[in-house]
Amino acid sequence: MNRDHFLFLVIGILGGFIAGYLVQESMASRQPAPLWHGAGAGQQASAGPIAGGAPNAGGGPSASSPPPGGGAAAMEQVQRLRAYVEENPDDIDATRQLANMNYDISNWQRAAELYERLLSRSPDDVDAKTDLGACYRNLGRFDDALRLFREVLTDRPDHWQARFNEVLILAFDLGDLEAAGPPLEELRNLQPNNPDVNRLVAEIERRKSS
């Protein structure tokens, strides 16, 4: 399959066959996702423990929902995409595309495997690290998630999505509001006018005073 055919395949899947993908890829149990998806600055996932955000981003039908039409063709195209990734493991763009599709349907384990594969070939990709950290967080691997977010922040101190997710884990998953204080202040300096950051600050302050 040449590159043009692959790009056409990806566009076709994203545009019309996502339902078939939901059937083909086994879907993990849905858990609250961190607010920010590293691969797209400003792309929201679930709001997690705070109000606001866009719950179930990337939604669509559940894994048990039948495709609205063209299901056989969709399944065939998904299989071809998966086969392409397996046969072309060095194609970083294809691996990222498949990882992102799994991320968007909250299939955390499969997405994590694909981001890990991507990072084995592109270890300095800070957005892939952030997305992998988000998957780890949703799999309950909080220490691994924090390690990745902090690696990102060492390389890119201005990567506010990684800082946001670091605060989210410290404050809500681990319940350590004191430890969340310094990174929260860093986050406020990075994004002083971000309404989601302001909601996060307000919620942490509420919990401190309660």
- Give 129's contacts (C-beta < 8 A, 6+ positions apart): 38, 115, 119, 148, 149, 151, 152, 162
Token pair 């681990």 is at which residue? 174
Q: What is the pLDDT, as a whole number, of residue 71?
A: 54
Contact 103, 135 (CB under 8 A): yes
- Give 52's contacts (C-beta < 8 A, 6+ positions apart): 195, 196, 199
Which one, of 76, 158, 160, 145, lies nearest residue 115 by Cα? 145
Average pLDDT, the chain: 74
| Cα–Cα distance measured from residue 121 to residue 110, given in angstroms and rounded to the nearest whole number | 17
Residue 19: pLDDT over 80: no
Instruction: Report the pLDDT averaged over residues 126-154.
Output: 97
| Cα–Cα distance measured from residue 176 to residue 118, given in angstroms and rounded to the nearest whole number | 32
| Cα–Cα distance measured from residue 23 to residue 146, given in angstroms and rounded to the nearest whole number | 32
Contact 14, 60 (CB under 8 A): no
Report if pTM > 0.95.
Answer: no
Which CATH homologous superfamily contains domain 3-209? Tetratricopeptide repeat domain (1.25.40.10)
Residue 159: pLDDT over 80: yes
Contact 61, 23 (CB under 8 A): no
What is the number of helices (H) and of strands (E) in the chain? 10, 0
Q: Where are the domains of the chain?
A: 3-209
| Lowest mean pLDDT across 26-40, 71-85, 101-115, 178-192 | 26-40
Q: What is the pLDDT, as a whole number, of residue 18?
A: 45
